[in-house]
Amino acid sequence: GAVVSQHPSWVICKSGTSVKIECRSLDFQATTMFWYRQFPKQSLMLMATSNEGSKATYEQGVEKDKFLINHASLTLSTLTVTSAHPEDSSFYICSASRYRTGDTEAFFGQGTRLTVV
Amino acid sequence: AQSVTQLDSHVSVSEGTPVLLRCNYSSSYSPSLFWYVQHPNKGLQLLLKYTSAATLVKGINGFEAEFKKSETSFHLTKPSAHMSDAAEYFCVVSVVFQGGKLIFGQGTELSVKP
């Protein structure tokens, strides 16, 4: 199967600083990647759709100035949490879409546990 | 709009007994449906997927699910639970024509008692 690598797997940062999370598709090209957020004991909520070479599409209620998404290449998307605060502490997961004739499949990264202190 | 509803937030079974995790879907189109498993503080692992081929889908670790259009259901089953099956399970639907965008159900926590 296809491999998606997400880095870092966990990070602790001070309130007010910014944190960058990387999502890489290792063995396929992904024109579309997705970023999800998961609070403890809850489901995954889609934050945004990351499109290679264009602006990300954010879901309703997600602050695009706070969660900056860049998809500069077909294998890399980054999520930057700017001026992080304790309420941004969460589990962030990316997925990358692989297209084959008649089929699109999403592959997930391992997730990043962000703790803001 | 597409959506999935997982009918149980928590299911508890004894080791060696059958597992049933229930999921209903809503979709105007023929849906692509998935079951994912998530162990504590881990990423997601795909158990199985339905994409309009056979209605009975076999997945990894002995899990299977049956797509029933008349009941708009996609329940996950396993004949005999193992302790290692204890985890969070998500029923997921793929949003049509949006390049792999997924909508997650609320999740069902499966506990397995010895």
Check residue B49 and give its pLDDT.
92
Closest partner residue to A109 among B43, B98, B107, by Cβ? Answer: B43
Per-residue pLDDT tens, chain A, 117 aa: give them.
Answer: 689 999 999 999 999 999 999 999 999 998 899 999 998 888 999 999 998 888 899 999 999 999 999 998 999 999 999 999 999 999 999 999 888 776 778 899 999 999 999
Q: What is the mean pLDDT of residues B45-55?
A: 87
CB B11 within 8 A of CB B108: yes
Specify the DSSP class assigned to residue A15: T
- Convert the pLDDT of each residue in B60-110 to its tens digit: 999 999 999 999 999 999 999 999 999 999 999 988 777 778 899 999 999
Over B20-70, what HEC string results?
EECEEEECCCCCCEEEEEECCCCCEEEEEEECCCCCEEECHHHCEEEEECC
Would you call A7 an interface residue with chain B, using a CB distance cutoff of 8 Å? no
d(CA A112, CA A93): 6
Nearest CA in chain B to A103: B51
Q: What is the mean pLDDT of residues B31-41?
A: 90
Residue B6 C-alpha, separation from nearest chain A C-alpha, in angstroms: 11
Check residue A25 and give its pLDDT.
95
Check residue A36 and give its pLDDT.
95
- Please report residues of B whose CB lies closer than 8 A to that of A99: 99
Check residue A21 and give its pLDDT.
98
- Please report residues of B whose CB lies closer than 8 A to that of A6: 43
Express as a percent the part of chain B with pLDDT over 90.
74
- Please report residues of A whose CB lies closer than 8 A to that of B43: 6, 93, 108-111
Would you call B94 an interface residue with chain A, using a CB distance cutoff of 8 Å? yes
Q: With an 8 Å Cβ cutoff, are A49 and B99 in contact?
A: yes
